Amino acid sequence: MDRVVLVKIQANIYGARKKLRKEDLVLADGSELPPEDLASLGSKRLLDPDQLADFNRLKKAAERHCLRVGTRFMGGFVVPVEHADAIVSELEKVAQEFAVNKAKFLAGYDDAVRDWIKKHPSFAGIIEKAIDPMAYVATKLGFDFIVVAIRQPEASSPKDVARLEQQIDSIGGQLFQEVANDAELLLEQSLIGKDQVTRNALRPIKRIRDKLDGLSFLDYRVAPIVTWIDGVLQEIPNRGAIEGALLQEIMAMTMLLADPDKLRRHGEGLSSNPSKVTNDEDADDVLSSGHPASPISAAVIAPVQTSLLEPKEPPMVDPEDLFAGLLDDLFTDDEGEDHSFADIASRAVLPVAPPALAAQALGSDNDNEPDTHGTDKSKLPEEAVTEFWF
């Protein structure tokens, strides 16, 4: 809590609605309304809703400013302390624009009411008797905000401490959900169905990355996710369209960002072993969620450990150990059944690779490696074949 502040936004917007009453309705003879305990009549509009659109837009803009670097918490937004000044500056601009629009709306309030009545002349009576005076409407329009620090009182009871800790623990989950919402929006608007995109289309990924980076202290799984995103962003060229394998990689990454549960699991895996590539099951989950099959490896999900790609010297093998293992294999078949020497003698010639090549075969972890007993001499260079007679 020492690293964040709580931003509370108070945006009051006049609803321009009143309850619809029975006397507002004109019923045909014999018609009957259901009783109030069965159904309610709803509300009636007193103004064109477009007259209030700017106020709703400004409220959402203020929330977006906070969500860009923060996350929802206790009816407000927690943002990193280092971003508090920038948030205050943006919210002050919203407050000023809100005040300008309020003055403009109040100045044209009477005209807006008359225009609404003209649009619905048959219901002029029920509109006129429900109109609110301008002074009342002015009290229902306003924008303000406050920035406070969060502290636990020293005299708090154990129950109070537990309540706050429970709220704090929920912040990480809220952060992952908001990232998922932003990623899902990016998929729908810019990625799905596209064979190429521009750098501008990927700006939401940069915003997601910056938000996670600023709040990485909230959850231990966030920092490795930021590093992973950085690795993908570094592959994006400075100019030109983004397409092909790189676009598929970005698509797979965004699909994972759009799933909060898988993203948490991925962050947990990266935090326990930063060099570990996501397993095939997780990669299949991402690619099977709607993305067409492609030759993307698990490196789509996490950076490849470069040391795995470095060539290694083949291990040295003692020839005696090589032949000992060879003879063991000759006397036992795949089902563990022993054979006589006469059976083995029927194998007149056995080509064997020199120790260096054999060592590479013995050092392989691949269960599908072909058996050296069946090696075709014609496919080996002459100097690589030695014939042993028994």
Q: What are phi and psi of 363, to 5 degrees?
A: -85, -5
Give me the percent of the chain exceeding a pLDDT of 70.
67
Tell me what pLDDT residue 29 has.
59
- What residue has token string 């022993």? 338
Q: Which of 163-177, 267-281, 316-330 has the lowest mean pLDDT?
A: 316-330
pLDDT in tens, 52-69: 999 999 999 999 999 999
Q: Which of 215, 206, 186, 183 is nearest to 66 (CA)?
A: 215
Tell me what pLDDT residue 20 has.
80
Between 144 and 308, residue with greater pLDDT: 144
Q: How far is CA 282 from the centre of its chain?
A: 14
Residue 320 confidence (pLDDT) above 80: no
pLDDT in tens, 327-354: 444 444 544 444 444 454 444 444 444 4
The two three-digit tokens of residue 133, written as one number: 């005076």
Q: Which of 100-109, 185-194, 318-327 has the lowest mean pLDDT?
A: 318-327
pLDDT in tens, 111-141: 999 999 999 998 888 888 889 999 999 999 9
Tell me what pLDDT residue 11 has.
94
Between 371 and 269, residue with greater pLDDT: 269
The residues pairing with 243 across neighbouring beta strands, listed in sequence order, are 196
Residue 311 confidence (pLDDT) above 50: no
pLDDT in tens, 135-165: 999 999 999 999 999 887 888 888 888 888 8
The two three-digit tokens of residue 17, written as one number: 């609605």
In this prediction the pTM is 0.63
SS (H, E, C) the chain: CCCEEEEEEEEECCCCEEECCHHHCCCCCCCCCCCCCCCCCCEEECCCHHHHHHHHHHHHHHHHHHHHHCEEECCEEEEEHHHHHHHHHHHHHHHHHHHHHHHHHHHCHHHHHHHHHHHCHHHHHHHHCCCCCHHHHHHCCEEEEEEECCCCCCCCCHHHHHHHHHHHHHHHHHHHHHHHHHHHHHHHHHHCCCCEECHHHHHHHHHHHHHHHHCHHHCCCHHHHHHHHHHHHCCCCCCCCEEHHHHHHHHHHHHHHCCHHHHHHHHHHHHHCCCCCCCHHHHHHHHCCCCCCCCCCHHHCCCCCHHHHCCCCCCCCCHHHHHHHHHHHHCECCCCCECCHHHHHCCCCEEECCHHHHHHHHCCCCCCCCCHHHCCHHHCCHHHCEEECC
Residue 195 confidence (pLDDT) above 60: yes
Between 347 and 16, residue with greater pLDDT: 16
Where in the chain are the domains?
A: 4-22+42-148, 158-309, 319-388
Q: Which of 302, 354, 287 is nearest to 323 (CA)?
A: 354
278 Rama sector, left if φ>0, alpha if ψ -120 to 50, beta otherwise: beta
Q: Distance (Å, rounded) from C-alpha 314 to C-alpha 390?
A: 29
The conformation of residue 49, written as its DSSP 8-state character, comes to G
Residue 294 confidence (pLDDT) above 70: no
Tell me what pLDDT residue 308 has.
36
Q: Which of 3-12, 91-100, 281-290 has the lowest mean pLDDT?
A: 281-290
For residue 168, name the pLDDT band (cuts at 50, 70, 90): confident
Alpha carbon of 113 to those of 55, 91, 110, 159: distances in Å? 18, 31, 5, 52
Tell me what pLDDT residue 351 has.
46
